[in-house]
Amino acid sequence: MSSTSCAPITAARPPGALMSAERWTLALMAVPLIGATFLAKLAVPPLGAMGIAIGMFLNVVAGAWGLASGRLLLDARVLAGFAMLFAFAGIGPMLRGEAYSLPSLLFLMVLHAPYVLVAAGGRALDAGAMQRLFSQLCVFLAWCGIVQFGIQFVIGPVLAFPIESFLPDALQVQAFNKQGPLAYGYNIYRSNGVFLLEPSFFSQLMAIGIVFELAVTGAWMRVAVMGLALVLSYSGTGMIVLAVCLPVVAVVYRRWQLVPLAVLAGTVVVIGADYLNLDLFVSRANEFQSSGSSAFARFVGGFYLFDQFLWDEPVRALLGYGAGTFKDYAPLVSVPVAEMAVPKMVFEFGLLGGLLYFGLLAWVVFRSPAPLVLRVAVYVTYFLSGNYIVFSHGLALSLLAWPNDLRATPPSGPRGGR
């Protein structure tokens, strides 16, 4: 099957066509996606204070349910791959006689345990069902974000951000900028789609939805709605996803009309920047040069950590300091360093462990029969957040990893993907 084949999501099925077995399988597959979106801010005390969302445990419960019901099966190859990774992560420090955090390593294992499961062959589920659900979810959340941004001018930010305002802190995921102003001194807040953990994750979800619709369905109205929602998030991480994926859409799926549309969009942005505060995107790009900004801490600070503690010690550079050590060394750097996936994995497990980790994730993601652009978009999100954030994992499990045995045929018609 061609790597650009995708599920025939445009071939609509009659209402009620999903059989009972299919509904249960679809419900199972959707659990990680729901945990990564609608339940992203919810936590069980005291884990919320540690930044750990309830979705992480829902993934494990759903995986166990799928395994017990026969809807999911163990994939021995993926299991062997992760066993090698965690053996490497644990045995290295032991052989060197160095301390490391066993709870941190165990926690990482629990987080990635659902990746060793795939759909049981022969289980009835339309290969495009999850993709249709994802498309509908993205549109719904886009409207939530648009209404949320606009309604704060009418009823105020307290009611526009109900979860942050009314849910007890103990039941919320902490240490995230869930309700961020447009910029310092503003009393207007960036949209997070009501349910998403941060505007940045909302913008990434919208970007993934946009490239999916452009490549697979050609539903321009959905693209327009999600595009507006992405703008109202005022977050640059969604733009990063678009920057990587739109060339894939144009070249692989031959959507050459995107080129003049991109020029037109750029012209509109330049003309309307003052009216829509779009200059804030430019100012956020400048944050990469400011050591006091979150962008610097997330995407630049890790290199200072490497310079200070890794590169001068070849053994450390290859094998790392051990699980859980990032939090001990990051405060010692002269600039702020955020616990992003790449700095954490490379610092704790070295270049070898980091390559093995992201290589395993790439294997799980890109062997999926889902549309290529969806695989690329989800994989990019791994590099835009931390390891323990459920967003990327939820998307990957629901859309790519678990449905892996559900083989789809190339769609027909001018609006299908290639």
Report, as an integer, the average pLDDT of 324-329. 92
96-107 confidence digits (pLDDT tens): 667 778 888 888
In a domain? residue 67:
yes
Read off the amino acid at residue 332.
L
Residue that wins the pLDDT comparison between 169 and 285: 169
Please tell me the predicted confidence (pLDDT) of residue 51.
86
Crossing angle of helices 220-233 and 236-252, rounded to 10°: 150
Please tell me the predicted confidence (pLDDT) of residue 144.
98
Report, as an integer, the average pLDDT of 381-395. 93
In a domain? residue 194:
yes
Tally of structural domains, the chain: 1
Please tell me the predicted confidence (pLDDT) of residue 139.
98
Nearest alpha-carbon partner for 161 in 184, 137, 143, 144: 144
Residue-level length of the chain:
418
In a domain? residue 116:
yes
C-alpha span between 268 and 97 (Å, rounded) = 60
In a domain? residue 71:
yes
pLDDT confidence band for 290 (50 / 70 / 90): low
- Of 172-176, 221-225, 282-286, 356-360, give the lowest mean pLDDT range: 282-286
Question: Which residues does 329 contact at the CB level (< 8 Å), separation at least 6?
Answer: 305, 309, 321, 347
In a domain? residue 306:
no
Residue that wins the pLDDT comparison between 1 and 325: 325
Which CA distances in Å does 266 have to 176, 204, 313?
31, 19, 46
* pLDDT at 352 exceeding the cut of 50: yes
Please tell me the predicted confidence (pLDDT) of residue 281.
58
Report, as an integer, the average pLDDT of 350-376. 94
In a domain? residue 334:
no
In a domain? residue 129:
yes
Please tell me the predicted confidence (pLDDT) of residue 267.
67
Please tell me the predicted confidence (pLDDT) of residue 258.
78
Question: Which residues does 200 contact at the CB level (< 8 Å), separation at least 6?
Answer: 233, 235, 236, 237, 238, 384, 385
Please tell me the predicted confidence (pLDDT) of residue 255.
84
Please tell me the predicted confidence (pLDDT) of residue 198.
94
- Of 30-39, 131-140, 249-258, 370-379, give the lowest mean pLDDT range: 249-258
Secondary element (H or E) of residue 72: strand 72-74
pLDDT confidence band for 277 (50 / 70 / 90): low
Angle subtended at Cα 394 by Cα 391 and Cα 396, rounded to the nearest 5 degrees: 105
pLDDT confidence band for 10 (50 / 70 / 90): very low
Asked whether the whole model's pTM tops 0.75, one would answer yes
Q: Which domain holds residue 199?
A: 1-12+20-260+363-418
* pLDDT at 61 exceeding the cut of 60: yes
In a domain? residue 74:
yes
Report, as an integer, the average pLDDT of 323-340. 92
